[in-house]
Amino acid sequence: MDQPLLEIDHLSKHYAVGRSWLGRGGGLVRAVDDISFVIQKGEILGLVGESGSGKSTVGRMLLRLGDQPTAGRVDFAGQDIAPMSQRQLRPLRARMQLIFQDPYSSLNPKMTVGQILEAPLRIHGRGGDRAARQRKVAEVLDLVGLRPGHAARYPHEFSGGQRQRIGIARAIILEPDFLVADEAVSALDVSVQAQVVSLLLEIRRRMGVTILFIAHDLAVVGYISDRVAVMYLGRIVELAPVASLYARPRHPYSEALFSAAPVPDPRANRQRILLEGDVPSPLNPPSGCAFRTRCAYAIPGCAAARPPLAELAPGHFAACIRPELELRRG
């Protein structure tokens, strides 16, 4: 378990916006700004943050969807995939997969479920002849709780939860080492959400796959993950084992997130920490700690320099210059 599968080192992704075609004017959005972390083999790392925090960008960069990162390394099983071209990445694609948020747009409406699931096997020359491939498809459908007979059907014949199972089947059919689940349960009904969460845990148990679970729902992330990273404005502000983080958050932003999360218990005793205002524009983030403009504990020193992630308890990292704070969860 303590063997890293992915090592992310000073990774950044910046976009130029509003620039004229001569390259003048505009600004730089720091969607992901100099983050470093490690994902251990076989672990589920949760990644939480609000919209604009850069969590989806991180997920896509680790899979190298789209362009090269602006800076930094992504070591996947020992090779740096950050500078690779899409062609160079193709053989690696079998080892890393993505589960999408929207189960409606992630399946090609013109293909049967069988064709969708067979495609990866054919592309990578796995699974032997046609009959063997179909056996493999049936096996995976069974694993995700669908019936082999469903292979002949089209995506529109399934409900949202079932489609998400098909998407998961496609992601695991090549037995990848690494899965990114990008808001994979957010679009589903509550009762179906739990089914899919259980399915992902079951798949991890059986296949030993490593998962980056990206979501905005702290409760779901906490339920499924071993460790959780909290992002704010393109940076990781806290990274800790679930038990440690959910027992005692060490960054004021995590505390605010916990405090804001609605608890399905009307008698829960809550003293809300209401954050003021909105997330600042990533075009023009505050100096020093990006959270200081909304932080209840900010001191003048917060504006001076960007605080590094420091280990405040075993395995528990937070980027805050005030480690003495006694923060609460909810």
Partner 1 sequence: MSEATLPAQPIEDIAPAARFRAVRRFVRHRLAMVGVVMILVLVLGSFLGPHLYPFDDLRIDMRNRFQVPFMGPHWLGADPLGRDLMARLMTAGQVSLAVGFAAMILSTLVGTAIGAVAGFYGRALGGALMRFVDAMLCFPNIFLLLTLAAFIQPGVWTITAIIAFTSWMEVARVVEGQFKTLRERDFAIAAMMIGSSDARIIFAEILPNAVAPIVVAATLNVARAILLESYVSFLGYGIQPPLPSWGNMLNSAQQYLTSAPWLAIFPGLAITAAVTGFNFIGDGLRDALDPRLDA
Partner 2 sequence: MTQPILSVRGLNVRFRGRGGGEVHVVRDVDFELAAGQTLALVGESGSGKSVTSLALMRLLPGEPRCRIGGRVLLEGRDLLYLTEAGMRGVRGNEIAMIFQEPMTSLNPVHRVGEQIAESVRFHKGLGRRDALDRAVELLELVGIPDPLRRAQAFPHEMSGGMRQRVMIAIALACDPKVLIADEPTTALDVTIQAQVLELLRDLQARTGMAMLFITHNLGVVAEIADRVMVMYAGRIVEQAAVDPLFAKPLMPYTRGLLGAVPRLDIFAKEKPPLTSIPGAVPDPAHPPKGCAFNPRCTHRQGGLCDQRTPPLEAAQPGHDVRCLRWREAMEAA
**CB 70, min distance to partner 2, A:** 25
The answer to whether 223 contacts partner 2 (rule: CB under 8 A) is: yes
Q: Do 107 and 167 meet the contact criterion of CB atoms below 8 Å apart?
A: yes
Beta strands 96-99 and 178-182, pairing class: parallel
- By CB under 8 A, tell whether 142 contacts partner 2: no
Stretch that binds partner 2, among 94-102, 171-179, 263-271, 300-308 (CB under 8 A): 263-271
How many residues does this entry show for the chain? 330
| DSSP letter (8 states) at residue 22 | T
CA–centroid distance for 100 within its chain: 10
Residues 6+ apart with CB under 8 A from 106: 100, 163, 167
Candidate list 31, 166, 200, 218; residue touching partner 2; CB under 8 A: 218
Work out how close the CB of 146 gets to partner 1 at its nearest, in angstroms, rounded to a whole number.
7
Instruction: State which of residues 16, 132, 263, 310 lies at the interface with partner 2 (CB under 8 A).
Output: 263
- For residue 293 the two structure tokens come to 């403009």
268 is a contact residue toward partner 2 (CB under 8 A): yes
CA torsion sign for 251, 256, 262, 266 is positive
Rounded-to-integer distance, Cα 29 and Cα 151, Å: 43
Site string for partner 2, 50-89 (x = CB under 8 A): xx--------------------------------------
DSSP state of 286: P
CB of 230 to partner 2, least distance (A): 12
Of 129 and 326, which CB lies nearer to partner 2 in the complex structure?
326
Task: Please answer whether residues 182 and 12 qualify as being in contact, where contact means their C-beta atoms are separated by less than 8 angstroms.
Answer: no
> Where do contacts with partner 1 occur on this chain (CB under 8 A)?
63, 65, 86, 89-91, 93-94, 96-98, 100-102, 105-111, 119-120, 123-124, 145-147, 150, 153-154, 156-159, 162, 167, 170, 174, 195, 198-199
Least distance from partner 1 to the Cβ atom of residue 107, Å: 6
Pick from 12, 40, 195, 293 the residue near partner 2 by CB under 8 A: 195
Q: Is 259 in the site for partner 2 (CB under 8 A)?
A: yes
Q: Which does 123 bind (CB under 5 to 8 A by kind): partner 1, partner 2, none?
A: partner 1
Backbone angles phi, psi at 328, to 5 degrees: -115, 160
C-beta of 53 vs 97, nearer to partner 1: 97
Find the helix or strand (DSSP H, E) in which 229 lies: strand 227-232
Residue 110 site contact among partner 1, partner 2, none (CB < 5 to 8 Å, cut-off depends on kind):
partner 1
Residue ranges in the chain assigned as alpha helix (H): 55-62, 86-89, 113-123, 130-143, 160-172, 190-207, 218-224, 242-247, 252-260
Partner touching 278 among partner 1, partner 2, none, CB below 5 to 8 Å by kind: partner 2
Q: How far apart are the C-alpha atoms of 293 and 194, rounded to whole Å?
A: 36
Check residue 291 for interaction with partner 2 (CB under 8 A): no
Which of 6, 184 has the CB closer to partner 2? 184
Token pair of 269 as six digits: 């005793």
> Is the CB of 125 or the CB of 266 nearer to partner 2?
266
Best CA proximity match to 232, nearest among 289, 297, 298:
289
Q: Which residues contact 5 (CB under 8 A, 6 or more apart)?
A: 39, 40, 41, 42, 76, 77, 177, 178, 210
- Which residues form the interface with partner 2 (CB under 8 A)? 50-51, 159-162, 189-195, 197-198, 216, 218-220, 222-223, 242-243, 246-247, 256-268, 272, 274-275, 277-279, 329-330
